[in-house]
Amino acid sequence: MNQIDTLPPLREVIATHGLVARKALGQNFLLDLNLTARIARVAGDLSDMDVLEVGPGPGGLTRGLLAEGARRVLAIEKDARCLPALAEIAAAYPGRLQVIEGDALAVDPLAHLTPPIAVCANLPYNVGTELLVRWLTPAEWPPFWSTLTLMFQKEVAERIVAQPGSKAYGRLALLAQWRTDARIALTLPPGAFSPPPKVHSAVVHLKALPEPRFPAQAKILERVVATAFNQRRKMLRASLKGLGPDIEDRLNSVGIPPTERAEQVSLEAFCALARTFEKDRR
Nearer to ligand SAM, 29 or 277 (CB): 29
Q: What whole-number distance in Å separates Cα of residue 235 and Cα of residue 106?
A: 39
Q: How far is the CB of 86 from ligand SAM (least distance, A)?
A: 10
Side chain identity, residue 23: K
What DSSP state is assigned to residue 9?
A: P
Q: How far is the CB of 143 from ligand SAM (least distance, A)?
A: 19
Site for ligand SAM (CB under 6 A): which residue of 7, 13, 30, 120?
30
Site for ligand SAM (CB under 6 A): which residue of 3, 45, 84, 103?
103
Span interacting with ligand SAM, options 72-80, 110-118, 166-174, 215-223, rule CB under 6 A: 72-80
Computed on alpha carbons and rounded to an integer, the radius of gyration of the chain in Å comes to 21
Site for ligand SAM (CB under 6 A): which residue of 13, 14, 65, 76?
76
Site for ligand SAM (CB under 6 A): which residue of 13, 14, 40, 55?
55
Span interacting with ligand SAM, options 24-32, 209-217, 251-259, 267-275, rule CB under 6 A: 24-32
C-beta contacts of 80-83 below 8 A and 24+ residues apart: 81/17, 81/18, 81/19, 82/17, 82/19, 82/56, 82/57, 82/58
61: contact with ligand SAM by CB under 6 A:
yes
Considering only CA atoms, which of 60, 10, 6 is closest in space to residue 37? Answer: 60
Q: Is 243 helix (H, G, I), strand (E, B) or coil?
A: helix
Q: What whole-number distance in Å separates Cα of residue 82 and Cα of residue 18?
A: 9
Consult the annotation and say whether 103 binds a ligand.
yes
CA distances from 224 to 129, 162, 252, 271 (A): 20, 18, 15, 9
CA distances from 7 to 1, 40, 96, 238 (A): 15, 18, 15, 60
Consult the annotation and say whether 28 binds a ligand.
yes
Site for ligand SAM in 119-158 (CB under 6 A): 122-124, 127
Nearer to ligand SAM, 78 or 205 (CB): 78
Annotated binding site: 28, 30, 55, 77, 103, 122
Annotated binding site for S-adenosyl-L-methionine: 28, 30, 55, 77, 103, 122
